[in-house]
Structure 1
Amino acid sequence: MDQGAAVWLVLLVGVLAANWPFFTERRLLVGPRHGDKPLAWRLVELLLMAALTLGLGWGLEARLGQRAPQGWAFYAAAGCLFLTFAFPGFVWRHLRRRRPEAD
């Protein structure tokens, strides 16, 4: 896999991983359903998915060559990018207007 494909793979996985906690009611993506998950639980899952995506990036970078050391600014920018990727899922879950249920 070349460097360009690895970058696109990490970006695609990042978009999917950032939105996944908002599109499922399962705890940690595989557990049983317990009704609506609270926002705090979704944020914990979002943090876990960000760590897994970062791990995928580290693994691909190590496979392609030597890993470059990163400072705090890289992790701050990566976190902001991951939150930006999560925005569509957050809007779909918490901000969209739902139709009233018919009796």
Structure 2
Amino acid sequence: MTTAMYVLLLVAVVLANSPFLSQKWFGIITLPRKHFGHHLVELAVGYALTGVLAYVFEAQAGPVHQKDWEFFVVTLALFVVFAFPAFVWRYFWHSRNHA
């Protein structure tokens, strides 16, 4: 694996977990209660940013290959799997310890 792949995986893991680790929306705007919809929007933006970074890395390495819908479904599923640890912490462990 190249350095770009390691960087992309690290960025994907960080962006997938960041919505569930803070009460701030996008890490900037403090919300009194962050709803699940806020998390979904942040997760979608993180997925898009990861996709843009992957496109840039692929363009630097050579010609960009065409991707069909199956590619995006698989990468979205992988992104959601990356988000699982912070999701569990937020909704199962964190609320139990702070109730």
Match of 1:40 in 2: 37
Instruction: Say which SS state the counterpart of residue 80 (structure 1) adopts.
Output: helix
Q: Could you tell me how far apart the structure 2 residues matched to 1:72 and 1:59 are?
A: 19
Q: Could you tell me how far apart the structure 2 residues matched to 1:61 and 1:99 are?
A: 44
Correspondent of 2:57 among 43, 55, 60:
60
Extract unaligned runs of 5+ from structure 1.
Answer: none
TM-score, L = length of structure 1 = 0.88
TM-score, L = length of structure 2 = 0.91
- Larger-Rg structure: 1
Which 4+ stretches in 1 moved above 2 angstroms? Answer: none
What RMSD in Å do the two structures reach over aligned CA positions? Answer: 1.3
Match of 1:69 in 2: 66
Q: Could you tell me how far apart the structure 2 residues matched to 1:7 and 1:35 are?
A: 37
Q: Could you tell me how far apart the structure 1 residues matched to 2:32 and 2:86 are?
A: 18
Query: Pairwise mapping of residues 1-103 of structure 1 onto structure 2 (< 5 A)?
Result: 4-31=2-29, 33-96=30-93, 97-100=96-99
User: Percent identity over the alignment?
Assistant: 35
Q: Which amino acid aligns with 1:17?
A: L
Extract unaligned runs of 5+ from structure 2.
Answer: none
Cα–Cα, structure 1 residues 99 and 24, in superposed 2: closer, same or farther, change >3 Å?
closer
Shift of 1:49: 0.5
